[in-house]
Amino acid sequence: MLFVDRVSRSFGSVAAVHDVSFSAERGSVIGLLGPNGAGKTTTMRILLGIYVPDAGRVTWNGAAIDLATRRRFGYLPEERGLYGKMKVRDQIVYFARLHGLHADVARKHADAWMARLEIDEYADRACNELSKGNQQKVQLAGAVAHDPELLVLDEPFSGLDPVNAETMLSCIRTLSEAGTTIVLSSHQMFQIEDACRSFCIVGAGRVRASGSLTELRQAFPTRSVRVAPDLPAFRALFAARGAPAPRADGTELIYELPVTADFGALLREAVAAGPLETFERQEPTLSQIYIRALGPSNGHPA
């Protein structure tokens, strides 16, 4: 189990990460969300021991993370990097061997991952001869060829086309099912929502919200109600319950009401007030939760 406990790290006078805490069970996938400069990469680098925190601690299965533990982790940084002239297989084998695998085992794992990611035909080609998408696959294979216990993926979907993004998602699911704990960051809400079991939204180096999607939704203070048609009677009904002016979405109007509102009673009153065609209570999306958690300043101090 990964446990991040009140971790802080500053660079000069800038607090990149402040009092960040979260945890991840074995085999779970946690998404770090936040705008650029929120502290996601710094947090990930602290997990990997690249940076030492100024305060707080990070443990893996109850013990502090040392170099031997880090060799059981895998890392895909946001800025991809490969040895351009090195052959694809050699590159993956090199990374696997740096993580402690014997040469023969490293080669077997490299071949298996190349086949899974459909880059085995490029095994003996230099990396700089591959397309960007295939280079990203090589990088992923290098990060996972040693069967890491914890995999840290910084913006794994960045620059991927839909097909390769789906391949990445599939790998994340496979690894998670096999017991690998995964920490990933992304701006792509759709993919991160699909991949992660829990989330940690950070802004200006601080945790703004965290938990599973269900928990985050439960903590969200409002719900949207999609209503059609647009009738004065319906507007009056929602205004009476304190809903702000609705926003239009085609022929439908979307009202925001406190989560504590009696939506059943409201539906009954709407049916009585006019010819109701649509009345749909909607759970907040991850995007809505993200935007609300970070506020209008996008997480940065006003």
Partner 1 sequence: MSELGVVLVTELGRKLRSAIFWLATLGGIVAIAFMVEAPVLLAALERSSSSDIVLAGPEPLRDRAAALMEAHKDYRVVASVDALPQHVTPNYLERHGKAGAAVAISLRAGRIHLDVYPKDLSAFDDVEFRSLSPLNVELVTGLASARVENASKIDRTIHPLDAKFADTRAAALAHGVTFGLVFILYLSIVISSQSIMSAVAEEKTNRIAEILIATIDPTNLLYGKTLAAAVVAMAQIGLWVATAVVLLPQAASSLVSSSSVSSPPRTGDAGAVLAVLDPGLLVAFAIFFVLGYLQYATIYAAAGSLVSRTEELGAVATPVILPVVGAFLVANFALVQPGSPIVIACSFVPFLSPFVIFTRIAISEVPAWQIALAVIVNIATVAGCFWAAGRVYRVGMLLYGRLPSPRQIVAALRA
Most distant CA pair in the chain: distance in Å?
A: 75
The size of the interface with partner 1 (CB under 8 A), counted in residues, is 29
The angle at the Cα of 225, spanning 266 to 274, to the nearest 5 degrees, equals 50
**290 scored as a contact of partner 1 (CB under 8 A):** no
- Which residues, including other chains, have CB under 8 Å from residue 267's CB and lie 6 or more apart? 279
Angle of CA points 124, 127, 130, to nearest 5°: 95
- Among 27, 56, 86, 158, indicate the residue that binds partner 1 (CB under 8 A): 86
Distances in Å between the alpha carbon of 130 and those of 81, 82, 85, 110, 138?
Answer: 13, 11, 11, 17, 9
Amino acid at 44: M
Nearer to partner 1, 117 or 227 (CB): 117
Pick between residue 160 and residue 225 the one whose CB is nearest to partner 1. Answer: 160
Contact of 298 with 35, CB cutoff 8 Å: yes
Q: Which is nearer to partner 1, 80 or 226 (CB)?
A: 80
The only residue of 22, 60, 75, 157 in contact with partner 1, by rule CB under 8 A: 75
Rule CB under 8 A: say whether 81 interacts with partner 1: yes
122 or 238, CB closer to partner 1?
A: 122
CA distances from 207 to 6, 32, 43, 196, 200 (A): 10, 10, 11, 17, 7
Shortest reach from residue 253's CB to partner 1, in Å: 48
Q: Which stretch binds partner 1 (CB under 8 A): 55-63, 70-78, 162-170, 263-271?
A: 70-78
CB atoms within 10 A of CB 265: 10
One character per residue 23-62, x = contact with partner 1 (rule: CB under 8 A): ----------------------x--xxxx-----------
113 binds partner 1 (CB under 8 A): no
Q: Which of 4, 48 has the CB closer to partner 1?
A: 48
CA distance 38 to 41: 8
Considering only 79, 104, 124, 177, the residue that binds partner 1 (CB under 8 A) is: 79
Q: Which range touches partner 1 (CB under 8 A), out of 18-26, 64-72, 241-249, 267-275?
A: 64-72
Interacting residues with partner 1 between 115 and 174 (CB under 8 A): 142-143
Residue 231 belongs to what H/E stretch? none
Residue 300 Cβ vs partner 1, minimum distance, rounded to whole Å: 20
Per DSSP, the chain holds a count of helices (H) and strands (E) of 11, 14
Q: Which residues lie near partner 1 (CB under 8 A)?
A: 45, 48-51, 67, 70-71, 73, 75, 77, 79-86, 90, 94-95, 97-100, 103, 142-143
